[in-house]
Structure 1
Amino acid sequence: MATMTAVRADLQAHTVSVEEVPVPTPGPGEIRIAVKAAGVCLSDVHLVEGTISPLFLDGHVVTLGHEVAGVVDALGPDTHGPEVGSRVLLQGGHRTREGRVLTRGVDYDGGYADYAVARAETVVPIPDSLPFEQAAIIPDAISTPWAAVRTTAHVHAGEAVGVWGLGGLGTHAVQLLRMSGAAPIIAVDPIEAARDRAVALGADAVASPDEAPEVIARLAPAGLDAAFDFAGVGPVRTQALRALGVHGRLVVVGLAGKGFEIESDTAFACKGQAVLGHYGSEGKHVLELVHLLEHQRLDFSTSVTQTFPLDQAPEVIDRLERKEGNPIRFVLIP
C-alpha cells in the first residue's frame, strides 16, 4: 500500500503529529491532488487547543489544512473535472445535500499532506500566473474577509469602517475594503508592526485599542457604518459596538467560543444597529477572487510571510499561536 506524509491532529489529546498514512483513493465524483502548498491558519491552532470543535468529524483525529493548492493527480470513477496535471486550489469545504456545511481539515481530512481528495465541484482551476503559495490561502485567509465585506456587511463605497485584529484575515480585509471604496478605513491592533503593515496596504488610519475611540471620533464623527471583529476578543466587540453609528453593523468573524453583551438595548434599538455573525465563505467568493487576481485587480504577493517543509507543521502551528514574526500567513510545502 502506498503511503504519504500527513499532519494529524488528535482533538482529544490536543496534539499534532507527522505520520505516514495511506494515500487516499478518490471515489466517484472525487478528485485527488498532489498538494503543492497549504496555508496555516489560526483556526488550526484553535482546533488543536479545543477552542473550536468539529460538528461532523467521524472520530477525533483529522488531517489538518483547509487552505490547499496543488496539481490534479487522479480522477475517481465517473468523475468530470480538471484534467490530470491541471493547477488548482480547493474550496475550504462544501455543503451537503442535507444542508450541512463541512469544513476541510476540520470535519474531514484536509491538505497538510502529500495528497488530498476533494469533491470535484470544490476543485477550482487557477491560472499559471498565480503561485501555489498565494492560491492556497485564497480559501479562508482571503475569501472569508471578502465574504464578510461583500455579502454579510454589504459595504458600499464611501462608508466608514473599522477593522479590529490585523492578522491574516484582518490584513486582507483592509486591502479588500480599499478595493471596495470604503472610506475611511480605520485599523486597530495592539501590535505596532501590524498597524504599520495595514497602512502600507491601504488603511487610512491606524490605532492601538487605547487610541481607537479618539481616532474613530475624529475621522468618523457620526460613527462607523461597519465594524469587523477579526480578533475574537470580548473587549474588541464592546469597543466596536460603541463606535457604531446609526444603522451601523458589527460583523463578528473572529471566534472565541464566548458570548458578549450589548451594553444598552435602548441605544442599540433606537439606532437600528445590528450584530451579524460570519463564518467562512461560499464557492462564489473564491471564484471571484481568482478572477480579480487573474486580472490584476488585487495583489497578495506579500501575504505569504514564510514557507516551511510539511514535516515542520507542529513547530509552525506553535509559531503562529505565539504570533512569532507577525505573520500574515505561514505556508507548508510538501
Structure 2
Amino acid sequence: MTEMLAARLHIPTRELRMERVPVPEPGPGQVRVQVRAAGVCLSDVHLVDGTLSPLWLSGDSVTLGHEVAGVVDALGPGVDGWSVGQRVLLQAGEVNLRGTVLTRGVDYDGGYAEYALASATTVVPIPDGLPFEQACIIPDAVSTPWAAVTATGATRPGEAVAVWGVGGLGAHAVQLLRLVGAAPVIAIDPLEAARERAVALGADVALDPADPKLRDSVMDLTGGEGLGVAFDFAGVAPVREQALSLLGKGGRLVVVGLANKPLTIPNDLGFAYFGQSLHGHYGSQPEHVQQLVTLAGRGRLDLSGSVSDVLPLADAPAAIERLARKEGNPIRLILRP
C-alpha cells in the first residue's frame, strides 16, 4: 500500500504528529488532489490548543488543513468534467446529504498531506498564472472577509469603513474594501507592525485602538458622520463596544472574529434612533471563492504579499507554533509537500 506524509491531530491529547498514512483512494463522486500548497490558519492553531473542537468528526484524529490547492491526481467513479493534472483549489468545506456543513481539516481529512480527497462539487479550477501558494488561501483567508464585505456588510462605494484587527483575515479585508470602493478605509490595530502593513495594503489611515483621540480621528476622517460599516476581525470583546460607538446613521457592525463572550449594545436609544444594526458573519459561499479566483486571475487582486513564508509539510507543527506566537506578524504561512 502506497503511503504519504500527513499532519494528524489526535483530538483526545491535542497532539499534532507527522505520520505516514495510506494514500486515500477516491470514492464515487470524489477527486484526489496532489497537494501543492496549504495555508496555515488561526483556526488550526485553535484546534491544536483545544479552543476549537470538531463537531462531526468520525474517529479521534484528523488531518488538518482547510486551505488547499494542487493538481487533480485521480478521479473516482462517476466523476466527469475534470482531468488529471488540472490545477485546482478546494472549497473549505461541503454540505452533506443531511444538510450539515462539514469543514475540511476539521470534520474530515484536510490538506496538510501529500494528497487530499474532495467531493467533485467542491473542486474549483484555477488559471495557470495564479500560483498555488496564493490560490490555496482564497478559501477562508480571503473568501471569509470578501463575503463579510460584500454580502453581510453590503458595503457600498464611497462608504466609510473601519477594520479592527489586521491579521490574516483583516489584512485581506483592507484590500477588498479598497477594491469595492469603500472610502475612507480605516485600519485599527494595537500592533504598530500591523498598522504599517494595513497602510501598505491600501488603508487610508491606521489607528491605535488605545489612542484617546481615536473617536475624534474617525469623526474627522468621516466628516463627522461616523462609520457606515465596522468590521470586527479581532475577536476581542472591547472592540465591539468601541466599534458601535463610532457607527453613523444606518451603520452596521459585522462581527467576524470570535471571542466567545457576551455581546452588549451599550446604548439602545442611539442604536435604534440611528437605525444601526449588528450582524454575525461566518465563512463564505462557493460563489465567493469563484469570484475571487476570477479577480485574482485577471490581476484585479494581488495576493503575493499575503504569503509570509513557505515551509515544507514536515514543518507543520513548527508552522502552527509560529502562528500561535505571531512570530514575524504573518498574514499566511504556507506548507508545501
Same fold? TM cut 0.5? yes
**2:199: which partner in 1?**
199
**2:156: which partner in 1?**
156
Instruction: Tell me the C-alpha RMSD between the 2 structures.
Output: 1.1
Q: Map 1:27-66 to 2 at 5 A.
A: 27-66=27-66
1:233 corresponds to 2:236:
yes
**2:189: which partner in 1?**
189
**2:73: which partner in 1?**
73
Taking the aligned partners of 2:293 and 2:229, their CA distance within structure 1 comes to: 26
Q: Map 1:137-152 to 2 at 5 A.
A: 137-152=137-152
Taking the aligned partners of 2:287 and 2:105, their CA distance within structure 1 comes to: 20
Query: What do residues 190-225 of structure 1 show as CA deviations (whole Å, max 9, x unaligned)?
Result: 111111111111101110111232321221221111
| Segment of structure 1 superposing worse, 17-26 or 31-40 | 17-26
Q: Matched residue of 1:141: which SS?
A: helix
**2:309: which partner in 1?**
306
Instruction: From 283, 286, 311, give the equivalent of 1:283.
Output: 286
**1:325: which partner in 2?**
328
| Segment of structure 1 superposing worse, 256-265 or 142-151 | 256-265
Taking the aligned partners of 2:144 and 2:283, their CA distance within structure 1 comes to: 5
Q: Map 1:74-223 to 2 at 5 A.
A: 74-211=74-211, 212-220=214-222, 221-223=224-226
Query: What do residues 138-190 of structure 1 show as CA deviations (whole Å, max 9, x unaligned)?
Result: 10111110010011100000111010001111001000000100011100111
Taking the aligned partners of 2:131 and 2:140, their CA distance within structure 1 comes to: 17
Query: What do residues 257-302 of structure 1 show as CA deviations (whole Å, max 9, x unaligned)?
Result: 2222111222222222111111111110110011111111111111
Q: Matched residue of 1:263: which SS?
A: coil
1:246 corresponds to 2:261:
no
The one-letter code sitting in structure 1 at the alignment partner of 2:207 is A
Taking the aligned partners of 1:26 and 1:282, their CA distance within structure 2 comes to: 24
Taking the aligned partners of 1:239 and 1:125, their CA distance within structure 2 comes to: 41
Taking the aligned partners of 1:39 and 1:178, their CA distance within structure 2 comes to: 24
Taking the aligned partners of 1:48 and 1:268, their CA distance within structure 2 comes to: 39
Taking the aligned partners of 1:52 and 1:206, their CA distance within structure 2 comes to: 31
The one-letter code sitting in structure 1 at the alignment partner of 2:217 is V
**2:258: which partner in 1?**
255
The one-letter code sitting in structure 1 at the alignment partner of 2:297 is E
**TM-score in terms of structure 1 length:** 0.97
**TM-score in terms of structure 2 length:** 0.97
The one-letter code sitting in structure 1 at the alignment partner of 2:186 is I
Q: Confirm or deny: 8 A CA contact 1:52 1:257 kept in the other structure.
A: no
Q: Return 5+ residue gaps in structure 1 as ranges.
A: none
Taking the aligned partners of 1:270 and 1:311, their CA distance within structure 2 comes to: 56
The one-letter code sitting in structure 1 at the alignment partner of 2:250 is H
Q: Map 1:1-20 to 2 at 5 A.
A: 1-20=1-20
Q: Return 5+ residue gaps in structure 2 as ranges.
A: none
Taking the aligned partners of 2:209 and 2:87, their CA distance within structure 1 comes to: 42
The one-letter code sitting in structure 1 at the alignment partner of 2:77 is P
The CA deviation at 1:15 is 2.0
Taking the aligned partners of 1:16 and 1:91, their CA distance within structure 2 comes to: 23
The CA deviation at 1:134 is 0.4
Task: Call closer, same or farther: CA 1:214–1:322 in 2, change over 3 Å.
Answer: farther
After TM superposition, where is structure 1 displaced by more than 4 Å over at least 4 residues in a row?
none
The CA deviation at 1:8 is 1.1
**1:265: which partner in 2?**
268
Taking the aligned partners of 2:5 and 2:260, their CA distance within structure 1 comes to: 32
Q: Give the aligned length.
A: 334
Q: Matched residue of 1:227: which SS?
A: strand
Q: Confirm or deny: 8 A CA contact 1:94 1:101 kept in the other structure.
A: yes
